Amino acid sequence: EIMLQQTQVATVIGYFQRFVDAIPDLPALANAELDAVLTLWSGLGYYSRARNLHRAARICLAEHDGELPTNIESLQALPGIGRSTAGAILAQAHGQRFAILDGNVKRLLCRFHGVEGWPGLAAVQKQLWSLAERHLPESQLVDYTQAQMDLGATICRRSHANCGACPLASDCIACREDRVSLLPTRKPAKALPARETMMLLIEDDQGRLLLERRAPTGVWAGLWSLPEAQHQTDAERWVARHCVNARSLPAPERFSHVFSHFRLNIEPRRWAIGAAKSAIADDDSHRWIEPGALDTVGLPQPVRRLIRSLIPDSGPPGAIMRA
């Protein structure tokens, strides 16, 4: 359920299987290092979900005898578990009578009842929760909960809704009034602000790249990434301060990565160095890594793609294409 927040089922399946193969139960998750959890999550995005999941597991181990709570209040008190996720867990795992309101169910209810207004607005959310609870059956909660999500995901889709195959079409206001494409009401358009950064690709004489751990809060919190600078002058000063015999190399082209609330414009800069000064060593803040070992650390997806763009299609494993 946590992985499915903000992410489609098709994307989640592979990540989920790898995750449970490595960390099969709640005590194992609680006892795992956060680095291991973030590595398994790497590429799935919204990394606060992984950090919250790890924190929640440790709380369960300390306060709930290593079990996930089965009452709504205790479940919602855990980090990263809101009202809909808690309802989905209790309905599907325990058959308890709780509503859910994920994206698929919001879309289904907006169309079926002709609900106007962006679902992110508090007043619309309140209306949708009331409708979701009104429709709850007295029994078969497991089937009902899954059916809602499946209907929204496969029939009442965001685009190209298959109303001809929908069992609710005859009573659906949006279908009857030909407003399926208009509901739910879209979020008011707003230009994304842009941020700029330079990512520094520092390669040593063994073909390894330097990684730097992100701060524990903010974007990509706690993940490994590349050193960053705001301007070319800052980048050159960073290299001069930390590296010996640095030689500038051609770098990949500038690219952008879009978050939910801003666009990050990334300008790669690249150096080959003879050695690193003693201030940089393998520790909790910096790490040298062979490009072929990227899957062993938690990296943001755009950083992983950037590094992989340097690896040739042929040649020894882990080698970087030198200019």
Where do runs of H (alpha helix) occur along 98-256?
103-113, 122-134, 141-154, 173-176, 232-242
Please report the sign of the dihedral spanned by the C-alpha atoms of residue 5, residue 6, residue 9, residue 11: negative
- The CA distance from 63 to 67, in Å, is 9
CB atoms within 10 A of CB 184: 22
Q: Which of 1, 212, 236, 290 is flagged as catalytic?
A: 1
Determine what percent of the chain falls in helix, strand and coil, rounding each to the nearest 5. 40, 15, 45
Q: Which of 148, 151, 25, 138 is nearest to 88 (CA)?
A: 148
- The CA distance from 28 to 58, in Å, is 10
Cross-strand pairs, 198: 229, 267
Phi-psi map region of 140: left, alpha, beta (phi>0 left; psi -120 to 50 alpha): left
1 noted as active-site residue? yes
- The CA distance from 152 to 290, in Å, is 43
- The CA distance from 15 to 12, in Å, is 5
Report helix, strand or coil for 108.
helix
Q: Show which residues are catalytic.
A: 1
